Amino acid sequence: MKTKPLTILGALGAILLVINVVSCSTVTRTVNLPPEIPGATFMGSQSCAECHAEKNKHFAGSDHARLKAQGANAENVGCESCHGPASVHIKSGGAARTIINPRQSPETCYQCHLDKRGSFNTAHHHPLQEGKVSCGDCHNPHEGRAVKGGGTSMAAANETCFKCHTAQRGPFVFEHEALREGCTSCHSPHGSVNQRMLTERNQILCLKCHMQTQVAPGKIIIGGHEHTDDLPRGTCWSAGCHEAVHGSQINRSLRF
């Protein structure tokens, strides 16, 4: 009996099936491997604490520490899950380039924060990929909340942004109340497809807070004022109506 020759598509299908079977039979969960350093082995976080006592002292209360598994499951994680195996670093007495410094490359952070890689590859993003900022400029990896000033303290969270964006700090005679909610009310801090890293492309962003009503045919009211003739001119800020979006010293409507 003759057998039909195996087509290219059939061969590929067989290979994929084998890979799938092996994959499913050996790993049943997502696994993030720690970074590698040629010739280095894991030493445990206690070895790091001998020189980095200050970092170790505060780490137990950090957000990242809560992710650490206990017992034998944590044998090769801890400090080395982000900085790589430390044996070569320890043996060299802490020589440069014998350990991974996540501040010099975001790749270590991307191991767990996969979605942020996508954000930083959008058209409008903080210059992390360009090496002008690092994740550590806005986040605390070793102590406290991972987001500096995060939680319910939005004013403190804004302080992180104001370190670079000083013109937006104020104080303003007429402030935009949105600042009280935090910069992230309007901006995506990692990156966005919209200009200025805005969460929305156009006036939809403003209309989330400034409700639009139509009390009569042909008349559109926003913020208690008629906007029927203004809306076709552009977005709330690009049309030249509310350019001082963070606050104004002279105009209650944030026009200048």
Same domain, 191 and 252: no
What total of structural domains would you count in the chain?
A: 3
Residue 122: inside a domain, yes or no?
Answer: yes
Average pLDDT (216-232) is 86
Average pLDDT over residues 233-249: 90
H-helix or E-strand spanning residue 219: strand 219-222
Q: Which residues contact 44 (CB under 8 A, 6 or more apart)?
A: 75, 78, 80
Measured distance CA(227)–CA(218) in Å, rounded = 10
What pLDDT is attached to residue 244?
A: 94
Q: Assess whether 194 and 120 both reside in one domain.
A: yes
126 or 3, which is more confident: 126
Task: Report residue 69's pLDDT band, with 50, 70 and 90 as the boundaries.
Answer: low
Q: How confident is the model at residue 13 (pLDDT cuts 50, 70, 90)?
A: very low
* One domain, residues 248 and 165: no
- Judge if 82 and 107 occupy the same domain: no
Dihedral Cα 178, 179, 180, 186, nearest 10 deg: 60
Asked if pLDDT for residue 31 goes beyond 90, the answer is: no
Q: Which of 85, 100, 115 is the last residue of a domain?
A: 100
Q: How far apart are CA 183 and CA 15, in angstroms?
A: 50
188 in Cβ contact with 197 (< 8 Å): yes
Task: Flag whether 222 is in a domain.
Answer: yes
Instruction: Tell me the Cα Rg of the chain.
Output: 26
Please indicate, yes or no, if residue 124 is contained in any of the structural domains: yes
- 168 plus 120 within the same structural domain: yes
Same domain, 86 and 109: no
pLDDT band at 30 (very low <50, low <70, confident <90, very high): low
pTM of the model: 0.76
Q: Which residues contact 255 (CB under 8 A, 6 or more apart)?
A: 241, 242, 243, 244, 248
Phi then psi for 215, rounded to 5 degrees?
A: -85, -15
Tokens 């050996």 belong to: 26
How do residues 102-125 score in pLDDT, each as one tens digit? 999 899 999 889 899 999 999 999
Inside any domain, residue 26? no
C-alpha count within 13 angstroms, C-beta hemisphere, residue 211 = 3
| 68 and 82 both lie in a single domain | yes
Residues 78 and 139 in one domain: no
* Residue 28's pLDDT band (cuts 50, 70, 90): low
| 85: three-class secondary structure by DSSP | coil
In this structure, is residue 21 part of a structural domain? no
Q: Is residue 15 part of a domain?
A: no
Q: Which domain holds residue 95?
A: 42-100
Q: Which of 10-19, 74-83, 102-111 has the highest mean pLDDT?
A: 102-111
Residue range 170-197, pLDDT digits in tens = 899 999 988 888 899 999 999 999 999 9
